[in-house]
A = this chain, B = another copy of it.
Amino acid sequence: MTKGLVNKKRRVHFTPDNVDIIVEEGANLLQVAIDAGVHISASCGGAGVCGTCKVLIKEGEVESTRTEKLSDQEYEQGLRQACQSRVLTDLTVYVPVESRLERAVLARESKGMAEALATGWRFNPPVSKLFVKLPPPTLEDNASDLSRVLRGLKQQYKLRNMTVDFDVVEKLPQILRDSDWKVTVTTLVTAVEPRAVDRRRPRVINVEPGDTRERHYSLAFDIGTTTVCGQLLDLNRGKVIAQGIDYNQQISYGEDVITRIAYCQKPGGLQKLQQVVVATINGVIRQLSSQSQVDVEHISHLTVAGNTTMIQILLGLDPKYIRLAPYTPAANFIPPVKASSVGIRVGGHVYLFSFPLVASYVGGDIISGIVGSGVYQREKLTFYMDIGTNGEIVIGNSEWMVTAACSAGPAFEGGGVRHGMVATNGAIEEFDISPSNLEPVIGTIGGEKPKGICGSGLINIIAGLLEAGVIAQDGKFNTNLPTKRVRQGSDGYEYVLAWAAETQIGRDIVITESDIDNLIRAKAAMYAGCQTLAKSTVIACAKFDQVIIAGAFGSHIDVEKGITIGLFPDVPRDRFTFIGNGSLLGARLVSFSTDILDDARRVAKMMTNFELSENADFMNNYVAALFLPHTNADEFPSVKEKLFGLQKVN
């Protein structure tokens, strides 16, 4: 049934958000929700294959293509995949709890942010405000306005040979006269070329009337595939004065970078994704400004860190070749660009600094994390791991560094898992199991009734099931156990974590063999990456002096459980450090210190990237790691002892 009518207007009302939008008959319902600002999960970017965008049509009629992602029961209840539905009449649409993204709990991710680990840096922000009092011009001294300002900077601050943004010249004459020749000059070190401190040539980027030094702020952002986190920094006091976070609005166009890159290849796709991530950033800037009561016009600088795809899309650089072998990014060192030129709502003088990056899948967020955590400053051998859909790892110290991206897949973020979900309210995170009756004890984020399982929950559950003998080392269920929680499901065997009545979704929440298999593959990719990199440097994983786990998700993993399933290397537990959002950490430090800015460039240059995707050694290691914790038990002696204590040998 395809209606040829166009231009008929229909009203769509979304609950529980209580948002109305008028659209044309025939409009795609997922797009309608995006336009209305209603966030619906759509992991596959609207291709119809993930089934995460289910909505309930409470009133009215849609034209919908049914896929196997909807059960008969769901279809009869009125559930439809938003991406597969077109508006026919006025509608009332209910977005079920499991399809919703909840903003309130995002703030959780910013807790536990580690303090800076990088040390020894001086507080010398790349952007400075300098107050100059100038003698007014006379007939004897009628040098140009700009020359007068530069002379003032030379006399009062020993700055010479500065470059000047043309825009400054435009407003200079009026500002000088309006302010009685007392002005504040903003300068920026772009550090495109690292130089000795005394040879740096800061650029004059702004001039303001009077003495505005007291109002001197900077923004640090982590542009994540899922969330965008920002901090407002007071550059006079060197501290964070506001912190904000939101979902990256690009989520509605696909959950991972590959889906996003694919979307960019559609006509207008790149522009659209750029526009929505900029809208997200602008929203976070509004949060920061309102929290802190700081006027946006007093922000002097913006530092962003993110993976290569996120940064390229933000800057309008087509990410097409990131996805195609041999996976080249547009640039490793991105030239300075005005933040306003990409649509970010800050003053026209504000430059956007984006971290240098190493490769298509080892982005500026990794450099930011390495710099922020000070790995490059220490002699001790560090293993740095940023866990997520695109897991990245680094091994090295102050002398050398190797890095690689491991395509772990979305399991850590709840993707490809029957009841997987992002780490928001209602996600099962804590898990314990009674050895006697194999009954679970679960804890959810926010303490609500469960509605799904987040990535760290998944690790805890699998480790618990393994230790209790409910699953074997190959991830298969022991089907001879005296519990009705282990049962045959539609995808093979499964374990019931919560009965329907105990949940928010009215269905049993289970973990299936297929889910476990997905997680094993994800952790195997990370560990195989670690082994492959380590081998390339003739080091064993057990020899790491320090293990740094980055990523908001990573912070919630229990070290012991992470080792039990073979995700983390089996080193003494006190060598582990969790730094939370390492990307944001580094972005903040760069805002505070030009030394760190120089270091970032140096670190990016010294890092050697390994492409694992077609590496034979990696494939062997990967296959060997498809076991809990590993086919070679000697890689995990402490787990071996825990699981098979009696068999301990040597």
Contact = CB atoms under 8 A, between A and B. Distances in A.
Interface of A: 137-148, 161, 163-166, 168-170, 172-174, 177, 192-193, 201, 315-318, 320-321, 325-337, 357, 359-360, 609, 611, 613-614
A173 B320 contact: yes
Contacts of A143: 328, 332
A316 B173 contact: no
Given A142-B359, A317-B169, A193 B331 contact: no
Given A146-B332, A146-B333, A163-B193, 15 more contacts: A137-B328, A139-B614, A140-B611, A141-B326, A142-B359, A143-B328, A144-B357, A147-B333, A163-B192, A164-B331, A165-B335, A170-B315, A170-B330, A174-B318, A177-B321
Contacts of A614: 139
A316 B335 CA distance: 27
Among A166, A170, A201, A609, the most chain B Cβ lie within 10 Å of the Cβ of: A166
B332 A139 contact: no
Given A137-B326, A331-B145, A166 B336 contact: yes
A144 B328 contact: yes
Contact of A144 (B148, B166, B331, B613): B331
B163 A335 contact: yes
A325 B139 contact: yes
A170 B316 contact: yes
A352 to B, nearest CB: 10
Nearest to A203: B335
Contact of A139 (B142, B163, B170, B326): B326
Copies in the complex: 2
A161 B193 contact: yes
A327 B141 CA distance: 10
A144 B330 contact: yes
Nearest to A136: B326
Given A142-B328, A143-B328, A337 B193 contact: no
Contacts of A146: 330-333
A334 B142 contact: no
Contact of A142 (B137, B164, B201, B360): B360
B326 A173 contact: no
A122 to B, nearest CB: 24
A316 B166 CA distance: 11
A326 B181 CA distance: 14
Nearest to A168: B335
Contacts of A148: 328
Contacts of A328: 137, 142-145, 148, 173
Nearest to A193: B161
**What are the nearest 9 A-B pairs in CB distance?**
A146-B331, A142-B326, A144-B332, A166-B337, A144-B329, A166-B335, A139-B326, A161-B193, A164-B335
Contacts of A192: 163
A173 B330 contact: yes
Contacts of A140: 611
A613 B138 CA distance: 13
